[in-house]
C-alpha cells in the first residue's frame, strides 16, 4: 500500500460529524512532518464518495481553500450536513476533533 492509499484508509475512519487534521493523519502514519503530503493525497483523492476528505482541516480547524471537490464552500456544506458547526470557515476542534493516532 503506498502513502496515498494509507492516507485514504485512515480518512475513511473519521466518523460523520467529526474532523481530523492533516498533521494528525501524518502522525498516525508515523511521519509527523508529512502533513503537506497528506494534503496532496487528499487533493488527488480518486473518490470523494469513498474517502470523505471534506472531514480533514488544518491544525487551526480552518477549511481548505483548495478543497478538490468544489472549494471551501462545498467543504463547509458537506460538514454542515453532518452536523459540524462552522464559524468563519473554521471548525471548533475542541468539539469535533477525531484523533486517528489512538
Q: Give catalytic residue positions.
A: 53
| 6: its cell numbers | 494509507
User: Would you say 79 and 54 are in contact if contact means Cβ atoms under 8 Å apart?
Assistant: yes
CA distance 14 to 24: 12
Strands 56-57 and 20-21: parallel
Amino acid at each position: 500500500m503506498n502513502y496515498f492509499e494509507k492516507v485514504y484508509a485512515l480518512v475513511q475512519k473519521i466518523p460523520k460529524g467529526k474532523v481530523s487534521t492533516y498533521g494528525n493523519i501524518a502522525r498516525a502514519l508515523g511521519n509527523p512532518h508529512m502533513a503537506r503530503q497528506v494534503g496532496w493525497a487528499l487533493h488527488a483523492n480518486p473518490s470523494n464518495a469513498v474517502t470523505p476528505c471534506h472531514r480533514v482541516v488544518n491544525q487551526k480547524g480552518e477549511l481548505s481553500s483548495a478543497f478538490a471537490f468544489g472549494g471551501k464552500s462545498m467543504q463547509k456544506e458537506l460538514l454542515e450536513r453532518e452536523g459540524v458547526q462552522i464559524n468563519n470557515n473554521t471548525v471548533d476542534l475542541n468539539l469535533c476533533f477525531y484523533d486517528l493516532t489512538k
